[in-house]
Amino acid sequence: MKIIRTFGLLAVLALLLAFPLLFGDPAVTTIAIFTLLFAGATVAWNIFSGYTGYISLGSAVFYGVGGYALALLCKAWNIQGGYMPFLLLPLVGLIASAFAIPLGWIALRSSRHVFVVITIAMFYIFQLLAFNLPGITNGSDGMFLPSPPWDAAFFNTPFYYVSLIVLLLCFFVSWWVRNSKYGLGLLAIRDDEERALSLGVKTGAYKLVAFAISAFFIGMIGALVNYFIGSLYPAFAFSPAFDITVALMAFLGGVGTLVGPLVGALLLAPLQQYLTVQLQIVGLDLILFGSLLLAVILLLPEGIVPSLRKTWTRWKASRGVRSPVAGSREKEEKALLAKGGREGNG
Amino acid sequence: MNLLEALNVSKAFGGIHALDTCTVRVEQGSIAGLIGPNGSGKTTLFNVITGYERPDTGVIRFNGKTVEKPTPDKVFGMGIGRTFQLTRIFPRLTVMENMHVAVQRRGAASLLSRWSSSHEQRQALELLEFVGLTTLQDMPAGNLSYGQKKLLEFAFILIAQPRVILLDEPAGGINPTVINELRDRIRDLNRRGVTFLIVEHNMEFVMSICDTVTVLHRGTTIASGSPQAVRSNPAVLEAYLGG
């Protein structure tokens, strides 16, 4: 099992690395870049919202802050287009985290229901600020990012690999969090926050750190998207569609699981890009996504990954296959009963 | 020596005096019982001791020192563990993951390590063996029966090696066989030096296990002493029978 898994992972990695060589068409690689970036954003969103159960609909704040941070840094330091802006990404991420700490500190004082509302409010405040601080953001006229001097055939390649690196890094951090004692504390917060506190989990600090980690990656992704597009406008940098999309991708795949958000994003992001970029029908994706959200809630309340896992264990049970991990048959059956009986838990 | 003391504690919710100058003392190494009719303030006292409620007046003393501004995490860190009347476990975590939640307090560096390969893993296995949940370790804890959840909650408190454990109705709603097992476990731990304060309505359980019993009535301590002495105390009989 472990060998199969390792080889599977290596195969996926090889495919991801070779992708721009196999598909040279810029239209295809553009979809691939957006897919990688949305996958990264969904995985990053899940590190906080998925593991702690605090659903944030204001991550666009960090996405926008990332975009503006890169534009302003390039302007201030007179940086030309090319590879240099990529090197600023970690700094941009840190700036986004620096915004996340005070914002999270305020928002996380509330219960998780109120938290959703506060994050939406924060998001609108930032959008308003972007419109109304023309001295910094140039208001509704928007800002331009330096344009890389690459020709059309090569243009997408650096963006593809940088996006891939960001996604892999983000996924690695999510994997590490999921398996660490720290991550266990986050999951305990999701299940019963007060109880976790009474067992010595420093819930406030735990949540805030996860919020900042999540913002770090979302900030970098916001910067990358806007660098790729070349321009930055308040309504797009701070777009309400961003959080809806990311949350839907996470819910579709399985919120709070490690691979679920990745699966959800890899399925939905290409579709979204195809609809908006290729068919040029702006807004159709939102209508479709809205209907899809309802379908997901109705049919797969736990998301694809947990549902498949359940089906897989049931199928194995029906075939009488023993899992090599589980010691005895009896234990296996008990575990199956347990999984089969699990209620929908997002 | 008294390990844990609640001295003249009062706590009102609006006009209701849940606790009214109530005093409870728990001697180091003992098993202390806390009884009283419904609504007499037992759980409120637990909440005050463990930092879930701030008392209006009165102090909590632990190990001879006053606990300043108790909060749940601070109190736990000092070595006071508690279980809840309605068990509070982490339903979506597995039984084994539940065991590891309570070992967070080991510094930031250890937080980065994997919980499954930590040195507490052996201890967690031993404790699951101790409460008889070893075979269920990979099951989501929410799927356990009520009695099993109580045992799990008891076990994950133990992993942090508290000096005193507050049990809120440990025998409530679990079958007599498990009650006997639980009694054995508590005695066993007590022999190893763990102090207990137990709220329980099952009188037979309280009388058979406790060294001292304190009786609360309408938020006030009305009697305290050995189980035999308390049982024959007229004020106690009055409280239970006269209402």
* Residues A98 and A235 reside in one and the same domain: yes
Structural domain contains residue A340: yes
Q: What is the pTM of this model?
A: 0.86
Nearest to B23 by CA among B41, B1, B39: B41
Indicate yes or no: CB of A195 within 8 angstroms of CB of B89. Answer: yes
Give the tens place of pLDDT for each residue, B25-36.
999 999 999 998
Distance (Å) from the alpha carbon of A339 to chain B's nearest alpha carbon? 8
- Give the model's pLDDT for residue B210: 94
Q: pLDDT digit string (tens) for B36-81? A: 888 888 999 999 999 989 999 999 999 989 998 888 888 998 999 9
Contact pairs from chain A to chain B, CB under 8 Å: 107
A281 domain residue, yes or no: no
- Specify which residues B13 forms β-bridges with: B16
> Residue A341 has what pLDDT?
41
Pair (A178, A318) in one structural domain: no
Joined together, the tokens standing for residue A302 give 């736990």
Indicate left, alpha or beta for A207 from its phi (over 0: left) and psi (-120 to 50: alpha): alpha
Residue A12 lies in a domain: no
Q: How far apart are CA A231 and CA A83, in angstroms?
A: 17
The most confident of the ranges A216-225, B78-87, B179-188 is A216-225
Structure confidence at residue B105 as a pLDDT band (50, 70, 90): low
A91 and A222 in a single domain? The answer is yes
Q: Is A194 a member of any domain? A: yes
Q: Are A127 and A235 members of one domain?
A: yes
| pLDDT of B104 higher than 70 | no
Which domains are assigned to chain B? 2-91+162-242 (3.40.50.300)
Domain presence at residue A115:
yes
Give the per-residue pLDDT at B107.
65
Which chain B residue shows the shortest CA-CA distance from A196? B101
Q: Which of A173, A177, A199 is most worth mutating to test chain B (most B CB atoms within 10 A of its CB)?
A: A199
Residues near A43 by beta carbon (within 8 Å), at least 6 away in sequence? A167, A170, A171, A174, A217, A261, A262, A265
Q: Given an 8 Å threshold on Cβ–Cβ distance, is A200 in contact with B104?
A: yes
Q: List the domain range (segments joined by +) for residue A310.
A: 302-346
Indicate if A55 and A135 belong to the same structural domain: yes
Which tens digit of pLDDT belongs to each residue from B117-141?
777 888 899 999 988 899 999 999 9
Q: Which of B128, B174, B140 is nearest to A334 (CA)?
A: B140
Q: Is residue A274 part of a domain?
A: no
Tell me, yes or no, whether A217 and A336 share the same domain. no
Mean of pLDDT over chain B: 88
A171 and A314 together in one domain: no
Nearest to B112 among A180, A187, A199 (CB): A180
Do A199 and B97 make contact, defined as CB atoms within 8 angstroms?
no
Set of chain A residues whose Cβ sits within 8 Å of the Cβ of B91: 191-192
| Domain end among A211, A243, A275 | A243
Residues A235 and A309 in one domain: no
The answer to whether A304 and A264 have CB atoms below 8 angstroms apart is: yes
Nearest to A53 by CA among A207, A268, A240, A171: A207
Residue B221: left (phi > 0), alpha (psi -120 to 50), or beta? beta
Residue A234 belongs to some domain of the structure: yes
Give a yes or no: residue A193 inside a domain. yes
- Please list the alpha-helical segments (H only) found in chain A: 2-22, 26-45, 51-52, 60-76, 84-87, 89-107, 112-132, 134-137, 152-179, 181-191, 193-198, 203-229, 234-237, 240-253, 260-273, 284-299, 304-319, 329-340
> Would the ipTM clear 0.90, i.e. be above it?
no
For residues A52 and A123, membership in a common domain is answered with: yes
- How far apart CA B172 and CA B169 sit, in angstroms, is 5
> How many Å apart are CA A183 and CA A346, to the nearest integer?
18
Instruction: List chain A pLDDT tens, one digit each, 346 residues.
Output: 678 888 888 998 999 998 988 888 888 899 999 999 999 999 999 999 999 999 999 999 999 999 999 999 999 999 988 899 999 999 999 999 999 999 999 999 999 899 999 999 999 999 999 999 988 888 888 899 999 999 888 999 999 999 999 999 999 999 999 999 999 999 999 999 989 988 888 899 999 999 999 999 999 999 999 999 999 999 889 988 899 889 989 998 999 999 999 999 999 899 888 887 767 766 777 788 788 878 887 888 888 888 888 888 788 778 765 444 444 444 444 444 454 444 333 3
Q: Residue range B143-171: average pLDDT?
A: 90
Count of domains for chain A: 2
Domain boundary among A198, A225, A243: A243
User: Is residue A180 domain-shared with residue A326, that is, in the same domain?
Assistant: no
